[in-house]
Amino acid sequence: MTAVDERRERAPGPGSADRRSLVDGATIVLGAAAVGLVALGWSGTDETRVSDLGLISALSPWVFVGSALLVLLAVARLVLLPRLSFIDAALLGAQVLVLHGTPAVVESAARFPVAWLHAGFVNELIPAGQLLTNVDARFNWPGFFTTMAVVADATGTDVVSYLRWAPLVAELLIIALVYPLTRALGASSRTAAVAVWLYATFDWVGQTYFAPQTYGVILQLAFLVIALRTQPRDALTGRRARWFTPLPTIVHLEGRAWWGFLLMTGLAAALAGTHQLSPIVLVLQLMAIVVIGRVRPREVVWVVALLAAAWLTFAAKPYWSGHLETIIGDIGNLDGVLQSAVSDRVGGGSAARQVVLMVRFAFAGALGGLALLGLFRRWRDRRRVDGVVVALAAVPIALVAMQSYGGEIVLRVFLNSLPFLALGAAWAFVPRRVLGRWAGAALAVVLLVGIPAHIVAHYGNERFEQVTAGDVAAVRELYDLAPAGASIVVVTPTMPWRFENYSDFDYVVTKVDAFVDLDPVSIRAALPENSDGTYLFVNNAQLAQLELVNGLGDGYGDQLLDLLDGVPWLTRVYSNDSAVIYRLTEPTGTEE
């Protein structure tokens, strides 16, 4: 079977129109029922029931029943119907809403504290109109923040209102790019459909919140789609022709290649000023498609690399001139990077957190195993390797030798490999162009098991990644209580602070070690003295992180609050169900 034969879809047979009408009608009715069950489950979900296993403990079983029905409907259509339609896209969209949009529906505020910080960056840009590059390193790559500031200013909307739905919108945009990307890499429409279902299910990394790296991933994928769908490529010769499967031939290229190159140049410029890591990944990926896939022009690699280097050298000089060791200090330090990315995250913590971490590793490993199986099935049929796909999935691993990225580099590697792992895994079920019944049953099992696994892996940290309406109310009250210039102190930054008044206060993340032993002297020494006032903000998320991640155990939070309420140099000035605010009332000296 040739590549052209593989990409050709099954032709409709006699009576297929009647069968499609019947299947479409049943899908619409049952799909509406599935969405209704999910909505019923959402209405019965109480965010206060979130346990050490995360959001899964708070969700109503009806959410899982409705989600499972969506999976069964989608797989049945992939098996039974010769052509896909908007109904299949609607089923996928509904499942993405369940997996990536449920917190936006059931939680009282937008999740993930860092997203609130990014909103503060944008709010700082709107009135000031200038970048505070000396305040935070992320201001040296302001592409995302300036884009959001322009949108918010032009529409007159509050950027905080974007936070709740940003993960869902970003996931939908990414999936809309993953589909044509997999098609450009040689997948049939059915294989590509399976790939995006697997992508949505296995994308547990949680990096699609309101953040520059989300914007960077979207730009990066758009760049690859344009490169693979508009640029000419040379025929494989010699060893490449014997070893590797060629990329699909592009027809009607007249004019497209030039416009495609211009678009890629614009995307490369936008990416260079958006995120530190994404241009590096894109350069590695472009080298893969140029060297193995013979895609032209080769100069596109240099365009991306030079634009990123120019931005780092000139525009980001305020950052690297004082943090050069941070940038290059981890190069070649594999042991240190892996220690911070894996060992430090797996070691310690509560038993429930260990379960969440093991689910994450197993979930990622399962996708990797399926991808290897799919690539093996393709090789067995063709005796050639899908070299471009393998390389695109593998090259992000090189990041481990460059940067620890705050201990998150393994997550970034998985995120950048995910589209290509999903395609390889899709070939395990659809190596050619037909999804057989047994393969469909296996796919259904994987996607069904993937529902609870995704919820645990993605939202297993919800006790300290969740933001509640009480948290937001407490922060707003803090801004009213504290005078400008005061120090606002937290034990861990798991709170929605700095979304307003970014430059008005001295924000301090103190040392966790000072609080571990519940020693009043150590705690007092950790609180900075400030003539404008010092305020200690403690919320449930901080206490949960100390109990779960630092392994301080259940009950630690209550003990800490009891201690803080009892010392004479702190006064409780505000509290609600989510947070407590203390004011330091002894400006000098320490408690003996």
Residue 534 belongs to what H/E stretch?
strand 534-539
Alpha helices (H) along 293-386: 299-310, 317-328, 334-338, 344-346, 351-382
Confidence of residue 590 (pLDDT cuts 50, 70, 90): very low
Higher-confidence residue of 44 and 381: namely 44
Query: Among positive and negative, which fits the CA dihedral 400, 405, 406, 410?
Result: negative
Q: Are 387 and 236 in contact (CB under 8 A)?
A: no
> What is the pLDDT, as a whole number, of residue 385?
86
User: CA-CA distances (angstroms) from residue 291 to 227, 286, 288?
Assistant: 14, 8, 5
11, 194, 546, 586 from 567: Cα distances, Å: 78, 59, 21, 11
Residue 464 contacts by C-beta under 8 Å, 6 or more apart in sequence?
492, 494, 541, 542, 544, 545, 548, 549
Cβ atoms 185, 388 nearer than 8 A:
yes
Q: Which two tokens stand for residue 518?
A: 């519940």
What six digits make up the tokens of 343?
């060992």
Looking at residues 340-363, what average pLDDT do you find?
Answer: 75
The pLDDT score that the predictor gives to residue 345 is: 55
Could you tell me the pTM of the whole model? 0.92
Residue bearing tokens 């990307």: 181
Higher pLDDT, 556 or 134: 556
Measuring CA to CA, which residue among 453, 425, 421, 447 is closest to residue 357? 453
Rounded to 5 degrees, φ, ψ at 189 are -60, -35
Domain regions of the chain by residue span: 3-110+164-464, 468-584
pLDDT at 512 over 50: yes
Specify the range with the lowest mean pLDDT, choosing from 15-29, 41-55, 490-504, 517-531. Answer: 15-29
Per-residue pLDDT tens over the stretch 153-194: 999 999 999 999 999 999 999 999 999 999 999 999 999 999
Note the pLDDT tens digit of each residue in 423-480.
999 999 998 778 889 999 999 999 999 999 999 999 999 999 999 999 999 999 999 9
- Look at residue 49 in the predicted model and tell me its pLDDT: 95
The CA distance from 216 to 213, in Å, is 5
Token pair, residue 591, equals 């408690």
Question: pLDDT at position 323, please?
Answer: 55
Write the single-letter amino acid at 112. Answer: F
What pLDDT does residue 242 have?
82
pLDDT for the residue numbered 352: 86
Contacts of 124 (CB under 8 A, 6+ apart): 132, 502, 503
Rounded to whole angstroms, the maximal C-alpha distance in the chain is: 90
Yes or no: say if 585 and 565 are a contact pair by the CB < 8 Å rule.
Answer: no
Classify residue 133 as exposed, middle or buried by CB count within 10 Å of its CB (0-12, 13-18, 19+): middle
The length of the chain is 592
Sorting pLDDT into bands at 50, 70 and 90, what band is 130? low
Please check whether residue 80 is in contact with residue 435, taking contact to mean a CB–CB distance below 8 angstroms.
no
Q: Are strands 487-490 and 534-539 parallel, antiparallel or unpaired?
A: parallel
Tokens 């395609």, located at residue: 423
The Cα–Cα gap between 232 and 403 comes to: 34
* Amino acid (1-letter code) at residue 229: R
ω into 396 cis (within 30 of 0): no
The answer to whether the CB of 506 falls within 8 A of the CB of 485 is yes
Q: Are 247 and 235 in contact (CB under 8 A)?
A: no
CA–CA separation, 52 and 464 (whole Å): 10
Residue 1's pLDDT band, with cuts at 50, 70 and 90, is very low
- pLDDT category at 233 given cuts 50, 70, 90 is confident
Are 207 and 213 in contact by the 8 Å Cβ rule? The answer is yes
Among residues 542, 365, 363, 393, which one has the least CA distance to residue 458? 363
Question: What angle in degrees, to the nearest 10, is found between the helix axes of 437-459 and 409-429?
Answer: 160
| Residue 47 · residue 58 · CB < 8 Å | yes
Indicate if the pLDDT at residue 576 is higher than 90.
yes
13-22, 39-48, 533-542: the lowest-pLDDT one: 13-22
DSSP label at 129? -
- With a CB cutoff of 8 Å and minimum separation 6, the contacts of 338 are 400, 410
**Residue 135 pLDDT exceeds 80:** no
Model confidence at 494, pLDDT cuts 50, 70, 90, reads: very high
Contact predicate 569/576, CB 8 Å: no
Query: Which of these, 413, 416, 446, lies nearest to 428 by C-alpha position?
Result: 446
* Higher per-residue pLDDT: 323 or 526: 526
Phi and psi based region of residue 238 (left: phi greater than 0; alpha: psi -120 to 50; beta: remaining): left
pLDDT higher than 50, residue 271: yes
User: How confident is residue 591, by pLDDT bands cut at 50, 70 and 90?
Assistant: very low
**Three-state SS for 34?**
helix
Q: What is the pLDDT of residues 246-268, one digit of tens each?
A: 888 776 666 788 899 999 999 99
Pairing assessment for the beta strands 506-509 and 487-490 based on DSSP bridges: parallel
Percent of the chain exceeding pLDDT 70 equals 88
pLDDT at 550: 86
Question: Per-residue pLDDT tens for 49-107?
Answer: 999 999 999 999 999 999 999 999 999 999 999 889 999 999 999 999 999 999 999 99
Evaluated on CA atoms 509, 515, 520, 521, the torsion sign reads negative
Give the gyration radius of the chain's Cα atoms: 26
Q: What band does 592 get if pLDDT is binned at 50, 70 and 90?
A: very low
Long-range Cβ contacts of 146-155 (<8 Å, 24+ apart): 147/215, 148/122, 148/210, 149/122, 149/125, 152/122, 152/126, 153/126
Helix (H, G, I), strand (E, B) or coil at 571: strand
